[in-house]
Amino acid sequence: MSDKPVRVRFAPSPTGPLHMGGVRTALYNYLFAKKNNGTFLIRIEDTDQTRFVPGAQDYIMDALKWCGIMPKEGPGLGGEYGPYVQSERKEMYQPYAERLVQEDKAYYAFDTAEELELMRERAKQMGMPNWQYNHVTRTSLKNSLTLPQDQVEELLANNTPYVIRMKMPRNRDIRFEDIIRGWVTVNTNNLDDKVLFKSDGMPTYHLANIVDDHLMKISHVIRGEEWLPSAPLHVMLYEAFGWDCPHFAHLPLLLRPDGNGKLSKRDGDRLGFPVFPTDWTTAEGELYSGYREKGYHHQAFINMLAFLGWNPGTHQEIFSLDELCEAFTLDRVSKAGAKFDPDKTKWFQQQYLRSTPNEELADQLSEVLEHKYDVSRLTTVCHLMKERATFIQDIATEGAYLLERPTSYDEQTVSKKWKEDTSALMTEWKNNLEALSTFDHDSVENAFKAFLEAKGMGIGAVLPNFRLLITGTGMGPSMFEIAAFLGKEECLERMNQGLTKIEALKNQA
């Protein structure tokens, strides 16, 4: 292994929308690159044409953009190692596969799918359910190792379909160090002769992945744990080509909230939370929901993802993307699967609202409210409401009365708190407010206290009804702040409107 400049890649296959686990892989690559003054690139691995899903590549790029973790090189982004889509690099791979055949490290195999199926069936009947094309079985199969040279040439000349398989050496220990898992040792006798080049003229994932990582000068391969079983083959391929092997880091799986198994794309909507960054609609019209459309801010989403498998080693939990770039190291990524916690995800979003300046939230709120209100007023709305909200939309809904007069009055509060003498009491309180020469938080509060004292009443008998008249609700932030925000005139008008409407309600009942 060498110490080249840090270049890392995210290499998704466009087989559908990007699962949250995929976004985490991209995020860790991004953070690692930033932390080490390196380059983060994206490469689309679409060699398996049968699994190609239209729209998936755009979805992936759009999701990374929303998350704020755009690669520096990739399709449509430029970079000197392109193209960054494997199907556009198609011509490059065959010579590499041929080279391994020339060097006796790979071979042509002419067995048809039916013949191989038959072998598998027979093996199964003989009590061997896991038949493999390997160093033992290849000696009795139809390949360039068993057939005479002239027959091989004839088959090739006749365009007989073939694949190129890795000639896995016999009984060798492959050892490599994974940054997260430590040393991994696998004996080649347990590995099969993987196909490197397919009969459709395309490389397999394994060959294309190694060739591209080499040509794109990738220094660290950071990817999901599901690729760990492929790593020994990859190490063998680097060795076969005589190339430097990149460093490996296999990230822990994302598990279901109950820790029972891998978090799959179907789990999300079934268990009531999204598993995708943004909405995805399948060709059949089926919708998989996304965090963006559910109202999450990308910063909260990223913060939550960063903690699925990593921790900073301190008590700090709230991080901006820049802070994550600063704090991130691979040696603090855990081996154990990371349990996804939907409540904690909401908590991150709440914390995001709480720690974000009101001016910034006001811009987002303005967007939600289609720019109908003055942004400086929205800044105060955010200040008043954000402690009680999770999403910016909550501020819009629950703080609606700060922007428009109430159209209804919370029935429960009316029936519990509005007594026979409340109208008279509230009219008196309204008159006191009217008499105030300054109308701010403190003056309203002082007047309120004086009123309670004069009446010999407790807060509970007066405040809920005052709130009801002004906001139509039974709960919320400080009434004195709300009154100061609305101003005297608006408060008085709301009280008049409320008195009339609640009286009418009472009379109806």
Residues forming the active site: 265
Report residue 231 as tokens: 């790593």
**What are the CA-CA distances from residue 424 to residues 420, 429, 459 (Å)?**
9, 9, 17
Q: Hey, what are 113's tokens?
A: 């799918």
CB of 45 to ligand GLU, least distance (A): 4
| Cα 225–Cα 231–Cα 237 angle in degrees, nearest 5 | 160
- Quick note: the x/- pattern for ligand GLU over 39-78, rule CB under 6 A, is ------x---------------------------------
Pick between residue 249 and residue 362 the one whose CB is nearest to ligand GLU: 249
Q: If binding is defined by CB under 6 A, does position 89 make contact with ligand GLU? A: no
Residue 139 DSSP label:
G
How many degrees, rounded to 5, is the angle at CA 499 between CA 458 and CA 387? 60
| Nearer to ligand GLU among residue 226 and residue 360 (C-beta) | 226
The dihedrals phi and psi of 186, each to the nearest 5 degrees, come to -135, 135
Q: Which of 29, 36, 134, 209 binds ligand GLU (CB under 6 A)?
A: 209
Q: What is the contact mask toward ligand GLU in residues 167 to 206, using x (rule: CB under 6 A)? A: --------------------------------------x-
Asked if the bond preceding 83 is cis, omega within 30° of 0, the reply is yes
Burial of 363 (0-12, 13-18, 19+ CB in 10 A): middle
Q: Pick one of 6, 8, 11, 382: the residue that binds ligand GLU (CB under 6 A).
A: 11
What's the closest the beta carbon of residue 288 comes to ligand GLU, in angstroms? 18
Q: Which stretch binds ligand GLU (CB under 6 A): 5-13, 310-318, 362-370, 414-422?
A: 5-13
Please answer whether residues 338 and 370 qualify as being in contact, where contact means their C-beta atoms are separated by less than 8 angstroms.
no
Nearer to ligand GLU by C-beta: 43 or 297? 43
Among 8-16, 173-181, 184-192, 347-355, which window interacts with ligand GLU (CB under 6 A)?
8-16
Contacts by 444-447, CB closer than 8 A, 24 or more apart: 444/479, 444/480, 444/483, 444/484, 445/480
Cβ atoms of residues 70 and 28 within 8 Å: no
The alpha-helical segments, DSSP class H, found in 404-457 are 411-417, 422-434, 441-455
- If the CB atoms of residues 12 and 476 are measured against ligand GLU, the closer one turns out to be 12
Give min distance, CB of 12 to ligand GLU, in A. 5
Q: Binding residues for ligand GLU, how many (CB under 6 A)?
A: 8
Which lies closer to ligand GLU via its Cβ, residue 225 or residue 410?
A: 225
Pick the closer one to ligand GLU by CB: 47 or 358: 47
Which range in 7-15, 101-109, 346-354, 407-415 contacts ligand GLU by CB under 6 A?
A: 7-15
C-alpha span between 108 and 52 (Å, rounded) = 27
223 binds ligand GLU, rule: CB under 6 A: yes
**Whole-angstrom Cα distance, residue 236 to residue 172?**
10
Interface with ligand GLU (CB under 6 A), residue from 52, 81, 131, 227:
227
> Does residue 378 interact with ligand GLU by CB under 6 A?
no
| Residue 406 DSSP one-character state | -
Three-state secondary-structure class, residue 40: strand
Identify residues 332-371 at the interface with ligand GLU (CB under 6 A): none
- Per CB under 6 A, does 13 bind ligand GLU? yes
Alpha-carbon distance of 185 to 199, in angstroms, equals: 32
| CB contact at 8 A, 251 and 222 | yes
For residue 12, state whether it binds ligand GLU (rule: CB under 6 A). yes
Separation CA 333–CA 310 (nearest Å): 4
Nearer to ligand GLU, 11 or 470 (CB): 11
E strand map for 6-73:
7-10, 39-42
Q: Which one of the spans 10-18, 300-308, 451-459, 473-481 is the region binding ligand GLU (CB under 6 A)? A: 10-18
Contact residues for ligand GLU (CB under 6 A)? 11-13, 45, 205, 209, 223, 227
